[in-house]
Chains A and B, each alone.
Chain A
């Protein structure tokens, strides 16, 4: 377990300059997620058209892991069909929470978050936005 495992360059870059870190005026769905024990909070905005995720953005305050993971999520889920996006989200949460899960080879940049598996205290930070995404698309907010 070393610091480089968790604070990879790519995560630090996303923390510094997150993707889609903005309010979405024309979101079709949104949800707020927070971790009451540590204070991380994000709001995830989603735009869905014809069962396709057209855009994802987020706002909020959190640690580097939380912010970088949210940022990576917004790009990962974009342009996926809704069922595919749900699948991907659930798989990713499973991958981080259960260290016995086989690591798929199509992770792309998300691979940078695998270090979190060695830091159980940070699991909630890394999955907060992903849980909020699931909440957004199941709650019918407009």
Chain B
């Protein structure tokens, strides 16, 4: 285990030394959108194309074997990283969005009937809402919202009242990408299970910040994206309990996902291949494996404590700026804070801080229903941390917001 030394960590990420024309170093505070990549991940991509570029699962030569081995190695590491019981419970996809679309489709086909309900929390990213809405037409189900309270919390007590005998599935995030809220998933899942409701957890924003254990949490399905945990874009995964995955039909048809094929029919392969039709992004999956190895070298307790100290500092600094108001006040949260500056639209804040080479995001963050609930129709400004952000980054942000206040003096 490596001790937590942020300056050391920063040296692993070449992009962080980028300076603008004025010589200002980049302050990257948009980690919820995507994280920067360490050398070990970038090198793995180059290495794959230089030394072992071959397709997986179907080549009989050395490179093919190496590619397959490295690809499957990521599956094993990832299954350990999230605490799954078996590697086959982990399926590679293009990302969290594709994972949820796939699961909505195949779980829908297998388990949803006309009149059933899917409960979706109001914290959800559009990618954990729209795929369920799309099932309304396909399966005749109804999507119901689970409201957040004014501070951005999801309460088990309000959940209980919403569960009915027809609630087949609950879709809920582990970390809100706007407020950083970390709902009490263990209790939430137990409550849903007591009602016979399956639970899909969106881990997109959690994987880089929290220690995950899907067995302990007892979720039925779990999804994530590599690019939000220091890995390459274009690859992600879903986890499903083996007992469910084995009952589900394939999603895409094509190579790899079949056992025998005739002119008029096919038989599907077992898991995980059943859900991985066609050539996967092999280099990116291998790079994803390197990102996991990168994260695993840290002591999670120290990593989490460090990120917590920076987010607490950010909240304190932001609160101290006149006209700045933090949005929401979740009971438990991680790595993310959103705010508004009185009389300065979020876009204008983002444009002005960008002039100081500070990258952050303004808008509704793919969470329109949440924005409506919080009364922030024009969106919010969001700061989202990565492992490499420093107290100095936050000071730079605070200075840049001061600039915004002088541009918009009123």
Which residue among A3, A16, A121 has the maximum number of chain B CB atoms within 10 Å of its CB? A3
Chain B positions 397 through 410: 1 when the CB is less than 8 Å from some CB of chain A, otherwise 0: 00000010001101
A61 to B347, CA, bound (A): 12
Q: Which of B211-219, B291-299, B348-356 lies at the binding interface?
A: B348-356
Contact mask for chain A residues 109-142; partner B; CB cutoff 8 A; 1 contact, 0 none = 0000000000101100100000000000000000
B355 to A39, Cβ gap below 8 A? no
How far apart are the CA atoms of A12 and B348 in the complex, in Å? 11
- Please determine whether B348 and A63 come into contact, CB atoms closer than 8 angstroms: yes
The answer on a CB contact under 8 Å between B345 and A6 is no
List which A1-29 residues lie within 8 A (CB) of chain B: 2-3, 6-7, 12, 16
Q: Which residues of A contact B355 (CB under 8 A)?
A: 2-3
Cα-based distance from A111 to B346 in the complex (angstroms): 24
A48 on the B face (CB < 8 A): no
With an 8 Å Cβ cutoff, the count of chain B residues facing the other chain is 19
Among the listed stretches B96-104, B303-311, B371-379, which one makes contact with chain A, having 4 or more residues with CB under 8 Å of it? B371-379
Known: A3-B352, A38-B363, A39-B364. A65 touches B408 (CB 8 A): no
Looking at the assembled complex, report how far the CB atom of B354 sits from the nearest CB atom of chain A, in whole angstroms: 9
B387 contacts the other chain (Cβ, under 8 Å)? no
A6 to B352, CA, bound (A): 10
The answer to whether A62 and B345 have CB atoms under 8 Å apart is yes
Contacts of A2 in B (CB 8 A): 355
Q: Does B362 contact A (CB under 8 A)?
A: yes
Determine the chain B residues whose CB is within 8 A of the CB of A6 once the complex forms.
351
Q: Which residues of A contact B410 (CB under 8 A)?
A: 16
- Rounded to whole angstroms, the CA-CA distance of A84 and B351 in the bound complex is 34
Q: Which of B351, B378, B407 contacts A62 (CB 8 A)?
A: B378
Q: Whose C-beta in chain A lies nearest to the C-beta of B352?
A: A3
Of A41, A63, A119, the residue contacting B345 (CB under 8 A) is: A63
| Chain A residues near B345 (CB-CB < 8 A) | 62-64, 66
Complex Cα gap A2–B377 (Å): 28
By a CB distance below 8 angstroms, the chain A residues around B408 are: 7, 12, 64
Contact of A38 with B351 in the complex, beta carbons under 8 Å: no
**CA gap between A79 and B351 in the complex, in Å:** 35
Q: How far is A38 from B379 in the complex, measured between Cα atoms in Å?
A: 7
Minimum Cβ distance to chain A for residue B378 (Å):
5
A129 to B148, CA, bound (A): 34
Give the complex CA separation of A100 and B346 in angstroms.
30
Contact B378 A65 (CB under 8 A): no
Q: How long is the Cα–Cα vector from A121 to B354 in the complex, in angstroms?
A: 12
Distance between B253 CB and nearest chain A CB, rounded to angstroms: 33
Question: Are B377 and A61 interface neighbours, CB within 8 A?
Answer: yes
CA distance A92 to B137 in the complex (A): 42
The 4 closest A-B pairs by CB, nearest first: A63-B345, A63-B347, A39-B379, A38-B363
> What would 11 A/B residue contacts be, using CB atoms closer than 8 Å?
A6-B351, A12-B408, A38-B347, A39-B363, A39-B364, A40-B347, A61-B377, A64-B344, A64-B408, A122-B347, A125-B347
**B residues with CB within 8 A of A:** 344-348, 351-352, 355, 362-364, 371, 377-379, 403, 407-408, 410
Q: A38-B364, A39-B364 are in contact. List 4 more A-B contacts (CB 8 A).
A: A3-B407, A39-B377, A62-B378, A63-B346
